[in-house]
Chain A
C-alpha cells in the first residue's frame, strides 16, 4: 500500500495528469476496502448535485470573452485617468487594473497575458526599473483572487458548502489589504520618480468612463444582483456571461460572432480540466471518509498542536508548501475537505479558513518550482526564469506579510458577516 502511494506521488511529480493520479488513489483505496468500483460512477456524477457549480463555466466564459476584447486596454486607460496623477501612479494603475481583471478571469494566467502586454512597456517608458516592472506585473497577475466573482472563491464555496455570497463579502477587506500593501511598497520603491504620469483631468476621466460605459455595470450586475436578492449566484453568472456576449459581440463588435465557438471551447477546456479533478477528488474524499482518515489526521494534528494560534501557524506553513507544488484548483478540491473538519475542531470559521486558504494559495503562483505566474511572465516577456524569480521576490515577501495579517486577524474576513 505504501509502495503504491509512493509510486502515485512519483507519477504526479513527473507530470501524470493530476486527475488520473487522484482517481487512481481513490480506486486503490476502494479496492482495498472491498468496495465495488462502480462507486466511481456515483462519486463522479455528484458533480451534478453540487450547488453553485454552474457559476464556474459561465463566469469562466465571460472572463475569456473579456480578455479577448479591448476591455483590458479600456480598463488600463480608465484606471490611468483616475490614478495616473499620483507619484508612482502607473504602478498603482497596474495593481488596480490587474486586481479587477483577475476577479473576472479567475487568475488562470490570463491577466498577465492580457494586461501585462500593455502595462509592462508602459512602465518601462515611464522610467520604472526593469526588475521592478517584471516583479510588479508578475505578482499583480493573481491579485484579484479574493474579489468576487473569482473562480477559486466559488470553487471553495462549492467544496466547503459555504454560501458563495458570504465568501464574496469576506474577500473584500483581505483583498484590499494585499492591494494596499503592494501599492505602498510600489510608491516607496519609486519615491524618486517625481514625475506623475499625467495631471488629473476631469475631462480625461470622463472620456475614459464613457469608453468603458458598457463594462462598468459588470460588478454591479454581479454583486448588486446577488445582494439585492434579484438572483442567485449561479444566475448572476449566466446574466454576466450573456451580458458580456451582448456587449462585446453585438454592441461593440470587438469579437466577431464566428470567434465565439473557439472562445467557448477554450474556456470549457479549462472548465473540463478543473471539474474532472473535482470529480476525482470527490471519489478520493469518499474513500478517505470510509477509511476514517479525517479523524486520524485530526488526532495526529491535535497531538502536535493545542491552540488555535499554533494550528494556524502550522496551516500556513503547510499551505505555502502546498502552493509551491500544486495549482490552486487542485489544491482546493484535494485539500479543503481534509482540513475543513480539523480547522473546525480548532474553532476556525470556515469562511475565514477559505480566505486564508486562497490568500496563501495566491503566493503559490509566485513560488518556485511550480508557479504559474512565474512561467507565464518568463515566457511572455522573454526573461530567464531565474531572473523572474528574483524580480518577484520582494513582492512575494510583502504578500506573505499580508497573508500573515489575514490569517491572524479573522475580523478582516468576517466583519461584514456579523449579523
Chain B
C-alpha cells in the first residue's frame, strides 16, 4: 500500500516537474523577448504596446508563484538553518515534519483566502491588460499555494518514509 502510494507520487512528481519547468521556461523567455521587443519598438519604430509593462509585471507574479512551487519540490525555500549542523539526523527529520506540516497548513489557508478574493474579482468584473478578466491573471495564486501546500505534505511523507525505512542502527558514522 505504502509503496504503491510512493510510486504514484513519483509518477505525479515527474509530470509535475516537467510542467513546472515548461511553465518557467515559457514565462522567462516570453518576459525577456517582450522587454527587449519593447526597446526595439520604441527606438526603431517610435511605438510600443500600452499593455506590455503590465503584462511583464503579471509575468513576474506568475514566475514568483511557479518558481515557489518548484522551490518547494526541490526543498529550496529559505529557512534559518541553525540546527541541522548540531542535531542528529532523526531529530532533524522529526523537526522537519513538524515545520513542514505548519507550512502546508499556512499555504492551505492562503490558497483558500486568495480563492475567495478571486470570486470577488469575478463579481466586480475587474480587468487587467485593458480588457482581460483579472481573475484569469490572478488565478495563479490559489492554484500555486494549493500546490505548495501539497508539496509540503509530500515532503512530510518523504521524511516519515525516511524515518520508517531507516536501518535500525542508523546511518553508520
Contact = CB atoms under 8 A, between A and B. Distances in A.
A242 B31 contact: no
A38 B63 contact: no
Contact of B24 (A49, A53, A265): A265
Contacts of B114: 38, 40-41, 44
A275 B138 contact: no
B129 to A, nearest CB: 11
Interface in A1-32: 11-20, 23-24, 27
Contacts of A270: 67, 71, 76
Contacts of A330: 78
Contact of B80 (A53, A56, A272, A326): A326
B161 to A, nearest CB: 19
Interface string A212-242: 0000000000000000001100110111011
A45 interface: yes
The bracket for how many chain B residues form the interface is 35 or more
B88 to A, nearest CB: 14
Contacts of B61: 45, 47-48
B113 A275 contact: no
Given A15-B84, A54-B56, A268-B66, A238 B32 contact: yes
B21 interface: yes
A20 B31 contact: no
B60 A53 contact: yes
B156 interface: no
Contacts of A327: 78
A58 interface: yes
The bracket for how many chain A residues form the interface is 35 or more
A152 to B, nearest CB: 13
A42 interface: yes
B77 A19 contact: yes
Contact of B32 (A242, A262, A276): A242
A231 B39 contact: yes
Contacts of A44: 110, 114, 141
Nearest to B42: A231
Contacts of A292: none
B94 to A, nearest CB: 10
Contact of A264 (B24, B38, B85): B24
Contact of B65 (A27, A272, A326, A375): A272
Nearest to A231: B39
Contacts of B59: 54
Contact of A261 (B21, B69, B81, B117): B21
A38 B142 CA distance: 11
Contacts of B116: 38, 41
Contact of B118 (A16, A19, A41, A264): A41
A270 B67 CA distance: 7
B64 A238 contact: no
B153 interface: no
B12 interface: no
A241 B81 contact: no
Interface string A270-308: 111111111100000000000000000000000000000
B82 A370 contact: yes
Interface string B129-171: 0000000011001000000000000000000000000000000
Contacts of A269: 67, 70-71, 74, 76
B85 A385 contact: yes
Contacts of B69: 272
A11 B99 contact: yes
B39 A14 contact: no
B57 A49 contact: yes
A268 B39 contact: no
Nearest to A44: B141
A83 to B, nearest CB: 34
B142 to A, nearest CB: 8
Nearest to B140: A45
B58 A14 contact: no
Most B C-beta atoms less than 10 A away, residue of A23, A40, A272? A272
A56 B59 CA distance: 12
Contacts of B74: 269
Given A44-B141, A269-B70, A279-B64, 12 more contacts: A12-B80, A13-B83, A27-B110, A48-B60, A49-B57, A58-B31, A239-B39, A269-B76, A276-B67, A276-B77, A327-B78, A330-B78
22 contacts: A14-B98, A15-B80, A15-B95, A16-B99, A18-B79, A41-B116, A41-B118, A45-B61, A45-B138, A54-B56, A54-B57, A235-B36, A235-B38, A242-B36, A264-B24, A265-B21, A265-B25, A268-B66, A269-B74, A273-B67, A276-B65, A327-B78
The 3 closest A-B pairs by CB, nearest first: A272-B67, A238-B35, A41-B117
Interface of B: 20-22, 24-25, 28-29, 31-33, 35-36, 38-39, 43, 56-61, 63-71, 74, 76-85, 95-96, 98-100, 102-103, 106-107, 109-110, 113-114, 116-118, 120, 137-138, 141
Interface of A: 11-20, 23-24, 27, 37-42, 44-45, 47-50, 53-54, 56-58, 61, 230-231, 234-235, 237-239, 241-242, 260-262, 264-265, 268-279, 325-327, 329-330, 369-370, 375, 385
